[in-house]
Amino acid sequence: MALLNSQSFYINSGNAAVLDWIEDSDRRILDVGCGAGNTGKLIQTSHPHSFVAGVTCSIKEYNQASSNLDLCFCLDVERDAIEQIGKEYDLILFSHVLEHLVDPLAVIQRLLPCLKPDGKVIIALPNIANWRERWKLALGKFEYADSGVMDRTHLHFYTFYTAPRYLIEPIPSLKLEHHGVNGSVPLAFLRHYFLNENWRKQIDRWGCQIFPNLCGGEVLMIARYSP
């Protein structure tokens, strides 16, 4: 999902969490940091009338995403000219990509002119303050990994509270409409032996609403663009 280098290759099942926030009116969608195009493919399946364009600077990802999406651009949004991306998009999606960039705020500002007036931005980010990372830190562990919150290619780390402060509030033309998380409550053995699936989902939902910075593994923000 990330804009890393010409040889990076991110392929997965896509980020289904963003689907609930895509409306039928979001016909033209720009997926920035599209990886192999897996999230875009999910969007096309759930919204078959949508047009999804992806952006990646990885040649490997571009080759794969081109077969999954309606259109794909191979360029670096921090350094390359972006005129070829075009304008009049209804939605720009930044799903787990901004944390990889040198200046994520500048990239958002740079791409906003590609949106229609009253278009929207969806941002999904990992939450460094979730209970799993806190527990690891309490045990004295702060180790980079090949994926996840501690992905070794992450240049920025965000929490539920800092994400809008750093990425939305500095841009006057963006108005935050939704700020939530996806995650889980640390239920330990209760999750596997005593609680059925419905109870687990309900408890996780409550936990994410009441303690978003503790329980949230993924921060999700939706903002409206008013130039």
pLDDT at 25: 94
What whole-number distance in Å separates Cα of residue 226 and Cα of residue 54?
23
Report whether pLDDT(2) > 50: no
pLDDT tens by residue, 30-89: 999 999 999 999 999 999 999 999 999 999 999 999 999 999 999 999 999 999 999 999
Q: Say what the pLDDT of residue 11 is.
A: 61
Q: Where are the domains of the chain?
A: 16-225
Tell whether the model's pLDDT for residue 4 goes beyond 50.
no
Output the pTM of the full model. Answer: 0.92
35 vs 1: CA distance, rounded Å:
4
**pLDDT one-digit tens code per residue, 10-22:** 667 789 999 999 9
Torsions phi, psi for 10 (to 5 deg): -110, 120
Span 109-134, pLDDT tens digits: 999 999 999 999 999 999 999 999 99
The CATH number given to 16-225 is 3.40.50.150
pLDDT of residue 132: 94
* Residue-wise pLDDT tens digits, 142-180: 999 988 899 999 999 999 999 999 999 999 999 999 999
pLDDT at 8: 67
Confidence of residue 217 (pLDDT cuts 50, 70, 90): very high
The length of the chain in residues reads: 227
Is residue 196 scored above 80 in pLDDT?
no
Query: Can you give the pLDDT at residue 163?
Result: 98
Q: What is the pLDDT of residue 40?
A: 96
How far is the first Cα of the chain from the last one, in angstroms, to the nearest whole number? 28
| Closest-CA residue to 94 (of 78, 80, 107, 75) | 107
Q: Which two tokens stand for residue 1?
A: 């999902």
Q: In what order do the strands lie in the sheet with 51-56?
A: 71-74, 51-56, 28-32, 89-95, 115-126, 216-225, 174-183
